[in-house]
Chains A and B, each alone.
Chain A
């Protein structure tokens, strides 16, 4: 479904993404594990076309078409969406209207269901604005409900667990599984091994490139053993030595 080939991004002379290759299958939850500063959010922006990021080189192929030249809207209309690590707040836009904007084909009661899936009581939230009165965790959960409502072909979730308390985390993970059952492929970007447990495959990101891809348990363990204790963040380990 998504094929990223030799993707590169250089900003102000600094190589941020460095020949990244990534393949996400239809129906797959693909985890991307990386420490801070390895390029996780940059990948999300490049695939979605946000933040004015344009690849210096390489291809982003979605369902057979290179989408690197498309606008954010065009990519969304093709079925890609992004849940931001820190979602924007929009004064005067209610949760109800926000979810309805992205609703694919659901009825009003579906909106309530999506909120319940992320652990939010519809009666308390549907008529609230997605503004600064929401806590960071509430806003993140509403972002997830919005992606559920959209039923995208590919959901890019940038650190969906950050700012989420440990009580709500299982709900959030369940909502990602549900999203996948609804038919969405998921690119699950995180620095948490626990979050990638729900993935079908996991890739490890270092210095803007994928250095390892494999089953979740094995790859997460490798990440824990090597990346957590690495003194050379963003200087990838050369396993041939």
Chain B
């Protein structure tokens, strides 16, 4: 297997990030907290006041402990960059997050696999959001065109009283390959959780999305939102589950899957459950072809049909 020097690996990651449409300056700016991991090697670890990033390289990846100190408000987004540049390999990220009470941070994770032919990327995250803390997490994937990648992100999140967890997982550049997304959130009193997944499946992509929200505290609120667009022979199964287990808990499952092709298969399984008479949980799921009226609306402004469909697809995945 080819081994790169650290400098070459780091530059390679930055170049790949830029080629995928990212702004490489954020990974080169000194006052931005960041962590760059290639395969199982930590190439950069720049914490910032109020935020600690501890890492340990393992045989197949990296263990990361990210701690946001109590009351710390991190002014600029923290960038995490994970990836694998060779065609084959395994990267396992073990993530432990501890956002202490009253802290605030926004984390942007870039996952870059531009050459993947036989790659597995796994993430197991254990995330604790303290009381009145706020944690925004956005994970964006950049894949190559071969589809030879398996992505398995799993997270268990616990949101303390009055805390906020917002996450967006986006995979719309390159082929998905095989995706098995599984995020589960437990909300305590007046906590808020919003899970969003946006995926564009093509070719023979195989997509599984599982969002679970347990509203265990009074007044907790949750939204499990998914937007999936499928073309060619891609398949997707989206499960959105929300459980209202406390008084005045409010939850909603919102799933849209658009099928743009005759051989793609989309399935949605919303599960809404209430174990407290004062809780309320709702769901809406829409699966089908792209709305003809939307397409004609854009065509009536002069766009041809393919461009109109493209605008609609990009919009839903934005």
Contact = CB atoms under 8 A, between A and B. Distances in A.
Nearest to B301: A102
A105 to B, nearest CB: 13
Interface in A55-86: 71-73, 75-77, 81-82, 84
B23 interface: no
Interface in A102-158: 102, 129, 146, 150
11 contacts: A50-B300, A51-B292, A51-B296, A71-B299, A71-B305, A73-B303, A76-B302, A90-B298, A93-B315, A101-B302, A150-B301
A88 interface: yes
A88 B304 contact: no
Contacts of B308: 73
A77 B302 contact: yes
A150 B315 contact: no
Interface of B: 227, 256, 291-294, 296-305, 308, 311-312, 314-318
Q: Which 8 A-B pairs have the closest CB atoms?
A: A92-B315, A102-B301, A92-B318, A72-B299, A93-B315, A76-B302, A88-B297, A88-B293
A48 B302 CA distance: 12
Nearest to A129: B315
A101 B312 contact: no
A235 interface: no
A70 to B, nearest CB: 11
A101 B301 contact: yes
A215 interface: no
Residue from the set B292, B294, B311, B315 with the largest chain A CB neighbour count within 10 Å: B315
Contacts of A91: 227, 256, 315-316
Contacts of A87: 297
A81 B302 CA distance: 8
Nearest to A84: B297
A97 B315 CA distance: 10
A72 B296 contact: yes
Contact of A150 (B256, B292, B302, B305): B302
Nearest to B317: A92
Contact of B311 (A50, A71, A77, A101): A101
How would you classify the secondary structure of chain A's contact residues: helix, strand, loop or mixed? mixed
B297 A48 contact: no
B302 A73 contact: yes
B292 to A, nearest CB: 8
A73 B299 contact: yes
Contact of A72 (B300, B312, B315): B300
A82 B301 CA distance: 8
Contacts of B299: 71-73, 76
A160 to B, nearest CB: 15
A76 B301 CA distance: 6
A88 B294 contact: yes
Given A88-B291, A88-B293, A101 B303 contact: yes
A92 B315 CA distance: 4
B168 to A, nearest CB: 13
A90 B301 contact: no
Contacts of A129: 315
Interface residues of A, number: 26
Contact of B305 (A48, A73, A88): A73
Contacts of B296: 48, 50-51, 72, 88
Residue from the set A76, A84, A90 with the largest chain B CB neighbour count within 10 Å: A90
A71 to B, nearest CB: 7
Given A50-B300, A82-B300, A101-B301, A93 B293 contact: no
A79 B296 CA distance: 15
Contact of B298 (A71, A77, A89, A101): A101
Contacts of A146: 301
Given A91-B316, A93-B311, A102 B297 contact: no
Nearest to A143: B297
Contacts of B227: 91
Contacts of B301: 76, 81, 101-102, 146, 150
Contacts of A72: 296, 299-300
A91 B313 CA distance: 9
A148 to B, nearest CB: 12
Contacts of B303: 73, 76, 101
B302 to A, nearest CB: 4
Contacts of B294: 88-90
Contacts of A52: 292
Contact of A90 (B292, B304, B312): B312
Given A72-B299, A91-B316, A93-B311, 18 more contacts: A51-B292, A51-B296, A52-B292, A72-B300, A73-B303, A73-B308, A75-B300, A77-B302, A87-B297, A88-B291, A90-B297, A90-B298, A92-B314, A92-B315, A93-B312, A97-B311, A101-B298, A129-B315
Nearest to B307: A73
Nearest to B298: A101
B316 A92 contact: yes
B245 to A, nearest CB: 29
A51 B298 CA distance: 13
Contacts of B291: 88
Nearest to B314: A92
